[in-house]
Structure 1
Amino acid sequence: MLHHVLLASPPDSEAASRAYYADLLGLTEIPKPPALAARGGCWFRGPGYELHLGIESEFRPARKAHPAIRVPDLDALAERLAAAGHQVRIDDELPGFRRFYADDPHGNRLEFVQPIEEEWPLGDGLIVRRARAAEVGTIIALLRDDPLGRNREADASDEAGYADAFVQIDRDPNQLLAVVEDEGRIVGTCQLTFIAGLSRRGALRMIIEAVRVAAELRGRGLGGRLIGWAIERARERGAGLVQLTTDKSRVDAHRFYERLGFVASHEGMKLQLEPRS
């Protein structure tokens, strides 16, 4: 697992580094250990990685060697950099990704990439795809649109925790937060989690959570098609078990999952943890 990437920067360049990496790219500056702080430079943290800027007295920018940073919205970042006067160089030669190159304020080459979204047809013009950061509010609205969800979920506009959680989910290769799209409108969602374990002879299992369909489309078979799509993703990954939990009060949901072949084989238990003060 990669912990951090180190880039060189010229003496007295910390202010320019902070303006670029923190203000423009949105990375979080982290303090350097006291023993290293006297050397100058800046350290930053992004989703799942750290990027360190170290001072070199005889600095020369890295024009070829570079880090590639995965971002959730390549177009928005390109617009932000261009508006700040940083040239963006588009390059579409990497299969499966959109990308561009840009230079940091010291001339170091950086690559920014975004995976090309895979789409799965559900029929009737509906598609399933990976959720985007801008859709978190719409997904939370779907989660809130039932008696249990209204008590559990907050208004997404009031909760920074939802945005933070999306970043964690989106960067995890064992998580897939999916949405169902109907002509540009989000009408369904679910979250898939793949878990490796030693039990059942080391079988990979997939958990289905947070299944929701827009109220006006319920009862039309969309939920069944969405679960069928999820099961196919489990087969593709070689999972030996698909499991889910459903609240004991959701009697209709129990019947729905039983019709799809799920068996109520276990008693589920949960322990609610309160935040530490």
Structure 2
Amino acid sequence: MPPRTVKMAIANTLEDLSKQDFEKFRHQLLDRREQPRVRRNMVEDKNFLDVTDVLVSTFTESGALRVAVEILRQIGCNEEAQTLAARPSAGAIMVGKEMAPKTIRKAIADALEDLSKDNFDKFCRQLLDRREEPRVRRNKVEGKSFLDIADILVSTFTERRAVTVTAELLKQIDCHCEADSLEDDVREETPPPSQPGPSDTSLQFVEKHKVELFKRVSNTAPILDELFDKNVLQPEIYEKIRALATSQEKMREIYLCCLKGGEACKNILYEILERNEPYLIADLKEKK
């Protein structure tokens, strides 16, 4: 008889659990803090076959086996965990393979999928109401699914900025938990900002490229927010800049305020730009 597949082995193990233990398994799966995370609507009220499919599609077969064994042990089903881990070829699967990381596009799609219909509609309206450039056209959003919106966000803002915009919009519609979860999902995918070279310090960089920064930084909201959080901008200045009509005006005022604040403030501005505009900063670094 041919050996069972990993998916079949996991499904059979979950099928053999008592109703109470299966509920514990699903609850523990949702409580996992490690990435990638499983969304609630993918697990709640699902049967053992559905949960098996979710495990394999989220973690790959090798990862699903490890996660299933780990959760079984956590809920006290040690015998079932041992049996599953001891299946033929499981040893080779359990050792040395990494789970495929979740892509940024998928993380955004998952966050949008978890929204209620009402909150998803609010998100779409808020996206259309954004004043910063680049703007999203109405015909790209109306009547679209969460997958379509995720594609539009990434294609419009690039992957890294799409996360910032999505989290910002989620917070604006009071979906703070979903925004935090999204940022947690992609944190491990985001490389640390590169450091300025010895011949081009952060202070020199901001001064040298200020005109390009005025022209090309379009999404100033997260930059303003971080400067405010770090006490570089006082509340009245923050509100004054937010009220300006164009991103160019906002960026110019941000620069002038940081200039008045001295070297420390310009250095903070550079670090914020590194996080929020990595591709622009990289492009400017290549220019002589």
Structure richer in helix, relative to its length: 2
Q: Give the TM-score taking structure 2 as reference length.
A: 0.29
Q: Give the TM-score taking structure 1 as reference length.
A: 0.30
Query: Larger relative CO (CA 8 A, sep 6+): 1 or 2?
Result: 2
Structure richer in strand, relative to its length: 1
